[in-house]
Structure 1
Amino acid sequence: MELKSTSNHYGTVAVSIHWISAILIIALIGSGFRAAATVDFEAKAAILRAHLPIAVTVLCLTAFRIVWWWRMDRKPHPVANAPRWQRRAARASHLLFYVTILGMITSGIGMMMLSGAAPVIFGQQYAVLPDFWKLPPRLPHAIGARFLVALLVLHVGAALHHHFVRRDKLLQRMWF
């Protein structure tokens, strides 16, 4: 497998970024919902100690992915015989992923900056975590998380439809 993509298959770099990001985003969704539902200070801080570095990693991967597509690689051609609406829906959903991921990270950074909670979370000082719901970025962060879950369900559903129903080998293009 080549580092860069070909006209019908994604390269090693794109495939690696995709699957690492997918795993980390699923971890972020799980830890984020768990942290939101946790009232115990120590437990919430422990969850956020994992959540925040994973989010920074996803930011770095997403930024690298954007630069990779923009400057260094080209995406494979759309699947043969895919209707125009599916090609447009695929482009739109990928763009929505980028916008949502960057929006989630921006609102998360906003919450950390406005709340001053980072020193508390990382144990540099002992205090009670703030009520994040009182911070303006919290609502967009919560809405973004639910929207991201919906995008993931649609994305996985479309990939499985292509693999099992259409049998057009779309899913194999994004594997090693």
Structure 2
Amino acid sequence: MTRYHPALVALHWLLALLIVGALIGGAFSLDPVPEDSPDKVGVLRLHMLAGLTILALMAGRLVLRLTTPHPPPADIGNATLNQVAPAVHWTFYALVFGLAASGLVMAAEAGLFAIVFGAAEGPVPDLDQLRARTGHGLFALALALLIGGHVTAAVYHQAVRRDGVLRRMSLRR
């Protein structure tokens, strides 16, 4: 076997787009909007829907990852890095689930579900005052850094090693 299951590949790329979008949206669309702005609820709604979608898709991806055959680990040309790579991939799952969990805790603490999805009126509380906000920010930063390293490794495999490792995550045969 030289490729991942097509459903895993499709979820990989869909989740990549959603996660990068949610990270960018959180940093550049959500944080700058003041809590008392009427736009805050709409931006939060979009961010929370994206987060919930990511959580559901990531759970499905984890189940598929554990139940489908997959190719052997890629050889990066260094024994230590070969051992680190699988841990990095599992760290993606941990960070995404941690980010989602901290977002859910933050939403519960602030009563955001009622405010954002229309069951209650009122301004959005100051989210920076919530205990889970710090964890949410740290998970987001760690995930962004890990994504940067992942992309760098993919470019290294493609441009330097030329080992075709990206074909494993391609839907094309």
The answer, yes or no, to whether TM exceeds 0.5 is yes
Distance (whole Å) between structure 2 residues aligned to residue 37 and residue 88 of structure 1? 40
Letter in 1 for 2:96: I
Identify unmatched segments of 5+ residues in structure 2.
none
3-state SS of 1:37 partner:
coil
> Which residue does the alignment assign to 2:61?
65
Letter in 2 for 1:23: L
Distance (whole Å) between structure 2 residues aligned to residue 75 and residue 41 of structure 1? 48
Distance (whole Å) between structure 2 residues aligned to residue 85 and residue 171 of structure 1? 21
Identify unmatched segments of 5+ residues in structure 1.
1-6
- The two structures have a TM-score, normalised by structure 2, of 0.92
Give matches, 1:1-176, under 5 Å.
Answer: 7-33=1-27, 34-39=29-34, 41-70=37-66, 72-80=67-75, 82-176=77-171
CA contact (8 A) 2:5 2:69 kept: no
CA contact (8 A) 2:15 2:54 kept: yes
Number of aligned pairs? 169
Query: Which structure has the higher relative contact order (CA within 8 Å, separation 6+)?
Result: 2
1:105-133 deviations in whole A, cap 9, x for unaligned?
A: 00000011111022222233321100111
Q: 1:56 offset after TM fit, Å?
A: 1.0
Identity over aligned pairs, percent: 31
- The two structures have a TM-score, normalised by structure 1, of 0.90
Letter in 2 for 1:73: T
3-state SS of 1:10 partner:
coil
Kindly report structure 1 stretches of 4+ aligned residues shifted beyond 6 Å. Answer: none
Distance (whole Å) between structure 2 residues aligned to residue 85 and residue 36 of structure 1? 39
CA contact (8 A) 1:163 1:169 kept: yes
Distance (whole Å) between structure 1 residues aligned to residue 95 and residue 142 of structure 2? 8
